[in-house]
Chain A
Amino acid sequence: MTENYTALYEEHKKAGASFTDFGGWQMPLKYESELAEHHAVRNAAGLFDLSHMGEVWVTGPDAAAFLDYALAGKLSAVAVGKAKYSLICQEDGGIIDDLISYRRGEDKYLVVPNAGNAVVVAAALAERAGSAQEGGFDVTVQDASAETSLIAVQGPNAEAILLTLVPAEQHSLVTELKYYAAVEVGIAVNGTVQDLLLARTGYTGEDGFEIYLPNEDAAGLWEALLETGASHGLIPAGLACRDSLRLEAGMPLYGNELSREGNPYAAGLGPVVSLAKESDFIGKAALSELKAAGAGSTTGRKLVGLKGLGRRAGRSHYPVLKDGNVVGEVTSGQPSPTLGYPVAMAYVDVEHAAPGTALDIDLRGKAEPFEVVALPFYKRQQ
């Protein structure tokens, strides 16, 4: 697998990170303790390098109509300045990736795929666009992943930390920024105030921001945030706690809960699919059939939350049992640092998917009791 390094690799080494390969990237797994990092994000703030994520710009007169065709959601309905969570599906309804799209103008979107899928998504978008001359869409698909860094500040203190780097006259742009919205804001980096794309999005279940910027400014912003954030309890946070945070928040991870073999209805993402939009889109026919057949509600398996009644955690690929018979499989699981009991997400047969159902996870030969619960496991106080 290709070994990629973000512009912040040296910063992570300086901070004593342990590294892991993720989606072909060498990424910080943890710095000191993934539990301490998890709690910092829940109680104060954590600083994440997410530069492995992709950034694909879709621009041109047909940008909105094109994304309505290429993605499962209705991106033309997104107001300029807002963002939308969506899926890019295959013709058969299988999920190629889940992504966030930011509408940056009438004719301009920033599409953010997962690290391991960035190249595939950029290629699929380019292919789906076709060429305007041959009856395709009048859009340009530009993969800016290689030159773009992404830094996230997540946690209840994220706003206060960010404001220390924003000129006073622009503070309201930050404080009034809604969840799933983005704005260009002046942020002090390397001694000058630069206009950077600031989004109020995240993958932790907390309030927080994601900042898109050119690679050459990444180390400067990283260091500035570490310095100004220290007094607010901010510490650098790695992918280990990112995984435990998103699991508590009930958010799916591509490769665990989402795949080309699965479908949005089984994954509980039916509302993300807009069968009602006027235009055709790739996967529509298959997804209509899946929905009509009751996928994820009356047939097949469904993604559920499982709460452990003992101390042992279920792990990815462990079988889920009902009276000793296999009725499902764990996709993600670990002890929840915030809640203090094991949590897991699993696909289980729909007849055993109702909250309150008692199930077991086969823990390396030993049946450990779990109970189906509604997702998310954790929801922050508003």
Chain B
Amino acid sequence: MSKVVAELKYSAEHEWVAADGSGPAGIGISAVAADALGDIVYVDLPEVGSAVTAGETCGEIESTKSVSDLYAPVTGEVVEINDDVVSDPALINSDPYGAGWLFKVAVTEEGPLMSAQEYAAKNGGEL
């Protein structure tokens, strides 16, 4: 079973959000999504300084088998992107909640997000 981290919140499109209200929110994709996609070989992230809107696409994730849209789980300005994951997308598979983080957003508004319990129950993840 794919791991779901208790301290994070999750979107229906399988992004996780690390927001404690003290600074920009870290965003990545869940292990459930990473495992379903297979080996990830390319990521297209929004640019630093660009605005993203909750529920809208802001990039792409490409695995050996498929291409998927990346959805913004929150609204706000992108303040940082993970350059390591752009050069080594396999980090998303090996450490989706850590080294495989994607970008950080100065959040003005959160989209609809689920608790880890809700997300795990809906998607068969393991807390």
Query: Contact check: which of B39, B42, B60, B67 meets A34 at CB < 8 Å?
Result: B39
A135–B33 Cα distance when bound, in Å, is 60
A315–B39 Cα distance when bound, in Å, is 16
- Residues in A with CB closer than 8 Å to B30 are none
A313 touches B62 (CB 8 A): yes
- Residues in A with CB closer than 8 Å to B39 are 33-35
B42 touches A311 (CB 8 A): yes
B67 touches A335 (CB 8 A): no
- Residues in A with CB closer than 8 Å to B66 are 315
- If A240-B65, A364-B67 touch, whether A33 touches B93 (CB-CB below 8 Å) is yes
A335 touches B38 (CB 8 A): no
A29–B38 Cα distance when bound, in Å, is 10
For window 205-247 of A, CB contacts with B under 8 Å fall at: 240, 244
A315–B67 Cα distance when bound, in Å, is 9
B22 CB-CB contact with A under 8 Å:
no
A6 CB-CB contact with B under 8 Å:
no
A34 touches B38 (CB 8 A): yes
Q: Which of B42, B62, B64 has the most CB of A within 10 A?
A: B64
B8 CB-CB contact with A under 8 Å:
no
For window 43-67 of B, CB contacts with A under 8 Å fall at: 60, 62, 64-67
CB distance from A90 to the nearest CB of B (A): 31
CB distance from B36 to the nearest CB of A (A): 8
B41 CB-CB contact with A under 8 Å:
yes
A337 touches B42 (CB 8 A): no
A33–B67 Cα distance when bound, in Å, is 17
Count A-B pairs with CB separation below 8 Å.
34
- Interface SS majority for chain A: mixed
B38 touches A30 (CB 8 A): yes
A224–B65 Cα distance when bound, in Å, is 30
A240–B41 Cα distance when bound, in Å, is 14
- If A311-B42, A312-B42 touch, whether A34 touches B93 (CB-CB below 8 Å) is no
- Residues in B with CB closer than 8 Å to A30 are 38
B65 touches A335 (CB 8 A): no
- Residues in A with CB closer than 8 Å to B42 are 311-313, 335
A335–B66 Cα distance when bound, in Å, is 10
For window 1-43 of A, CB contacts with B under 8 Å fall at: 18, 29-30, 33-35
- Residues in B with CB closer than 8 Å to A334 are 64-65
A29–B66 Cα distance when bound, in Å, is 13
CB distance from A343 to the nearest CB of B (A): 12
B62 touches A34 (CB 8 A): no
A353–B12 Cα distance when bound, in Å, is 44
- Residues in B with CB closer than 8 Å to A312 are 42, 62
Q: Which of B35, B39, B60 has the most CB of A within 10 A?
A: B39
Beyond A30-B38, A313-B62, 5 additional pairs, beta carbon < 8 A: A18-B35, A34-B39, A34-B65, A315-B66, A335-B41
Q: Residues on A close to B: CB < 8 A?
A: 18, 29-30, 33-35, 240, 244, 311-313, 315, 334-335, 337, 364
Q: List 19 A-B contacts (CB under 8 A).
A: A18-B35, A29-B38, A30-B38, A33-B38, A33-B93, A34-B65, A35-B39, A240-B64, A244-B64, A312-B42, A313-B41, A313-B67, A315-B66, A334-B64, A334-B65, A335-B41, A335-B42, A335-B64, A337-B64
Q: Residues on B close to A: CB < 8 A?
A: 35, 38-39, 41-42, 60, 62, 64-67, 93
Top 9 A-B pairs, shortest CB-CB distance: A35-B39, A335-B41, A334-B64, A34-B38, A33-B39, A311-B42, A34-B64, A34-B39, A240-B65
